[in-house]
């Protein structure tokens, strides 16, 4: 690799040929602030926050797009540079709704941090018209999120990740110049478009311009109602990220503290979605084997990710027959709570409030889908994000980091290592293979680690010789990668038996409802790997690592469902899909 020699702030720096000034500075541990920049996603040099001085250049240059050359001399913090950044921030604020105290991103806003770093306050701001007035109507049409364009800074991160990563492209720039706004085509409400509710736009927004619908008040109201029996379940990926909301390092597994916090809040029972992840594997593995052995529709494609499901319904409606009919683990556990558990406890399902804590904003859409009401009432009533849980913990005055570790309630809190890895891309596939292979061969696996399907690559492929059958599998995360993979399947270029797809790049650990990661970390650190490691470490340390060896799952079938794929299991644990149009 050819290296280029430059100077940054007088220090010698080497960086690979083709690097930008921003990348070279990062290699030298020199921080240059950014606002619009997302590496490999939104490299447009639009916001001008990252400007630097280059000796010999006529004007300041945007370091995020300006390539280095041999002998270049760069200065990142001269008075000219600092003054330019301050003026840019003042101009942004002049067109920005500055009601920071009530903003969901207050204290975790990239614009707010920059203004603090550069000592920007109301003095010296420019007055004038605003593109979108502070009291403008919000777009609340989507089930999962709210758009507030009065706080949009036109960084275009949302549009870039929606189009370039997810391949959906329902948000973009309308109008020109000062009148430019980020919105949907023909100013449609987001809920009227083919938005899949993945929430990746929320994850990358630097301000409070887009955010999830918050249902913490509904949870508090339910907890305060003596007539209601309120239970909560938490997804695998939540435990690997929740700690970030309380200052803990990325990838800290806070399962025990999380359980204790939920019990202190007052939930009647705290269950683990990992339980129903094991249940999903039992049903999905049975479905896979049935299709393989009886000439069913292949490839079988996983159904755990509601963002992916909606994407398939909109963009690949002819492949909805390939989808597993299994409900997602969230919905399966909700169904079990309001049928099996309600019967055992003698509780009317109508009096149960089933709450979930998910890394995913699409779960808010999923709870309202049709054919998700095994007991005649919604399987899950309220879906919260990881961020909403953190807000709930703070509102209850709980000192999270001081908590002792608690345990999930039995039996719907008992799970295996196979279940916890559902939160990472490839995890569902690996968990399914552990059960499917042992079922087909009738032999115990020598190694439970299917490492070929692990990792953060967008598309992974593998094949396994199982009882004389060459089982070909693929894993995709991020909907742009899903589109690429499915196009190959439809054209006949690729042929698989089983495909796992997650809507979010990296899987649920990077869900749209997870703690926001600032761009300076997102651009140069694979935080997804750190979160995934927490789950794989928990799997490796588990005594039981195969879903079909979960004793509580065995008991559930003995007492209620009889066997995987039974008529009763289909009624409670399986669902149907809709062929949608593209808007």
259 shares a domain with 161 = no
Are residues 329 and 244 part of one domain?
yes
- Tell me which of 149, 177, 212 is where a domain ends: 212
| 248 inside domain | yes
CATH number for the domain harbouring residue 271: 3.40.50.1780
Pair (353, 470) in one structural domain: yes
> Closest Cα to residue 516, out of 208, 169, 180?
208
**Nearest-5° angle of CA 317, CA 321, CA 327?**
100
116 within 8 A of 109, measured Cβ to Cβ: no
Last residue of a domain, one of 91, 113, 148: 91
Tally Cβ neighbours within 10 Å of residue 325: 18
Say if CB 85 and CB 51 are below 8 A apart: yes
CB 106 within 8 Å of CB 112:
yes
- Is there a single domain that holds both residue 395 and residue 289? yes
Q: Is the pLDDT of residue 123 over 80?
A: no
Number of domains the chain contains: 3
Q: What HEC string does 383-400 produce?
A: EEEHHHHHHHHHHCCCCH
Nearest alpha-carbon partner for 17 in 29, 31, 5 = 5
CB contact at 8 A, 275 and 415: yes
Closest CA to 198 of 173, 169, 219, 235: 169
- What is the rounded CA–CA span in Å between residue 197 and residue 132? 24
- For residues 149-154, give the mean pLDDT: 97
Shared-domain flag, residues 133 and 50? no
Could you report the per-residue pLDDT of 266-284, keeping only the tens digit for each? Answer: 999 999 999 999 999 999 9
122-131, 189-198, 234-243: least confident range: 122-131
197 and 295 share one domain: no
According to DSSP, residue 249 is labeled P
Q: For 539-567, how does the pLDDT look when each residue is reduced to its tens digit (9 = 90+)?
A: 999 999 999 999 999 999 999 999 999 99
181 and 238 housed in the same domain: no
Q: How many CA atoms lie within 13 A of 405 on its CB side?
A: 5
User: Strands 210-212 and 145-147, how do they pair?
Assistant: antiparallel
CA-wise closest residue to 112 among 131, 134, 97:
97
Predicted pLDDT of residue 307: 98
CATH of residue 150's domain is 3.30.70.20
For residue 151, the model assigns a pLDDT of 97
Residue 110 covered by a domain? no
Kindly report each contact of residues 41-44 with a partner whose C-beta sits within 8 Å and lies 24 or more positions away, as own/partner: 41/157, 41/160, 41/161, 41/164, 41/165, 41/204, 42/155, 42/156, 42/157, 42/160, 42/161, 42/164, 44/156, 44/160
Q: What percent of the chain has pLDDT over 90?
A: 97
How does pLDDT run across 384-439, given as a tens digit for each residue?
Answer: 999 999 999 999 999 999 999 999 999 999 999 999 999 999 999 999 999 999 99
Same domain, 338 and 455: yes
Q: Is 21 within a domain? A: yes
The domain that holds 10 is classified in CATH as 3.10.20.740
Residues 6+ apart with CB under 8 A from 176: none
How many other CB atoms are found less than 10 A from the CB of residue 582?
10
Q: What does DSSP say about strands 51-54 and 73-75: parallel, antiparallel, or unpaired?
A: antiparallel
Q: What is the pTM of this model?
A: 0.96
Across all residues in the chain, what is the average pLDDT? 96
- In angstroms and rounded to an integer, the radius of gyration of the C-alpha atoms of the chain is 25
Backbone φ, ψ for residue 409 (5° rounding): -80, 145
SS3 sequence of 435-495:
HHHHHHHCCCCCCCCCHHHCCCCCEEEEEEEECCEEEEEEEEECHHHHHHHHHHHHHCCCC
């Amino acid at each position: 690799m050819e290296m280029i020699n430059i100077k940054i702030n007088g220090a010698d720096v080497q960086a690979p040929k083709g690097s930008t000034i921003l990348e070279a500075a990062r290699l030298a541990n020199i921080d240059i602030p950014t606002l619009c920049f997302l590496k490999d996603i939104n490299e447009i040099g639009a916001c001008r926050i990252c400007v630097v001085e280059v000796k010999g250049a006529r004007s300041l240059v945007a370091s995020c797009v300006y390539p280095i050359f041999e002998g270049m001399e760069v200065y990142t913090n001269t008075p000219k540079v600092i003054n330019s950044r301050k003026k840019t921030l003042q101009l942004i604020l002049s067109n920005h709704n500055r009601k920071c105290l009530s903003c969901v991103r207050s204290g975790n806003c990239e614009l707010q941090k920059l203004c603090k770093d550069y000592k920007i306050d109301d003095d010296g701001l420019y007055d004038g018209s605003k593109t979108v007035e502070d009291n403008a109507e919000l777009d609340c049409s989507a089930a999962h999120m709210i758009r507030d364009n009065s706080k949009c800074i036109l960084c275009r991160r949302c549009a870039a990740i929606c189009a370039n990563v997810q391949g959906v492209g329902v948000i973009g720039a309308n109008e020109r110049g000062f009148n430019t706004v980020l919105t949907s085509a023909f100013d449609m409400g987001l809920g009227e478009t083919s938005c899949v509710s993945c929430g990746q736009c929320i994850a990358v927004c630097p301000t409070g311009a887009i955010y999830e619908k918050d249902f913490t008040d509904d949870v508090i109201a339910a907890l305060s109602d003596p007539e209601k029996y309120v239970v909560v379940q938490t997804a695998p990926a939540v435990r690997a990220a929740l700690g970030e909301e309380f200052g803990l390092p990325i990838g800290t597994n806070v399962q025990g503290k999380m359980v204790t916090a939920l019990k202190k809040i007052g939930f009647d029972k705290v269950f683990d979605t990992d339980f129903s992840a094991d249940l999903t594997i039992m049903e999905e593995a049975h479905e896979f084997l049935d299709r393989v052995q009886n000439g069913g529709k292949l490839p079988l494609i996983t159904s755990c990710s509601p963002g992916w499901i909606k994407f398939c319904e909109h963009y690949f409606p002819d492949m909805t027959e390939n989808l597993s009919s299994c409900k997602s683990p969230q919905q399966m556990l909700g169904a079990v709570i309001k049928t099996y558990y309600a019967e055992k406890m003698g509780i009317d399902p109508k009096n149960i409030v089933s709450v979930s804590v998910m890394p995913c904003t699409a779960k808010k859409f999923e709870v309202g889908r049709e054919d998700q009401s095994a007991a005649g009432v919604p399987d899950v009533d309220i879906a919260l994000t990881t961020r909403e849980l953190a807000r709930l913990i703070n509102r209850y005055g709980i000192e999270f980091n001081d908590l002792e570790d608690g345990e999930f309630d039995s039996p719907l809190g008992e799970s295996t290592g196979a279940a916890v890895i559902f939160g990472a891309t490839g995890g569902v596939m690996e968990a399914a293979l552990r059960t499917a292979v042992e079922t087909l061969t009738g032999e115990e696996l020598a190694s439970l680690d299917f490492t070929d399907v692990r990792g953060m690559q967008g598309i992974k492929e593998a094949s396994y010789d199982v009882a004389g059958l060459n089982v070909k599998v693929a894993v995709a995360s991020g909907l742009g990668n899903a589109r690429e993979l499915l196009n190959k399947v439809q054209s006949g270029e690729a042929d698989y038996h089983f495909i796992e797809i997650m809507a979010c790049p990296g899987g649920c650990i990077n869900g749209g409802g997870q703690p926001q990661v600032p761009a300076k970390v997102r651009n140069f650190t694979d935080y997804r790997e750190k979160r995934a490691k927490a789950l794989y470490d928990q799997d490796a340390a588990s005594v039981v690592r195969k879903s079909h060896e979960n004793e509580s799952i065995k008991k559930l079938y003995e007492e209620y469902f009889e066997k995987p794929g039974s008529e009763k299991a289909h009624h409670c644990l399986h669902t149907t899909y809709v062929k949608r149009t593209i808007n």
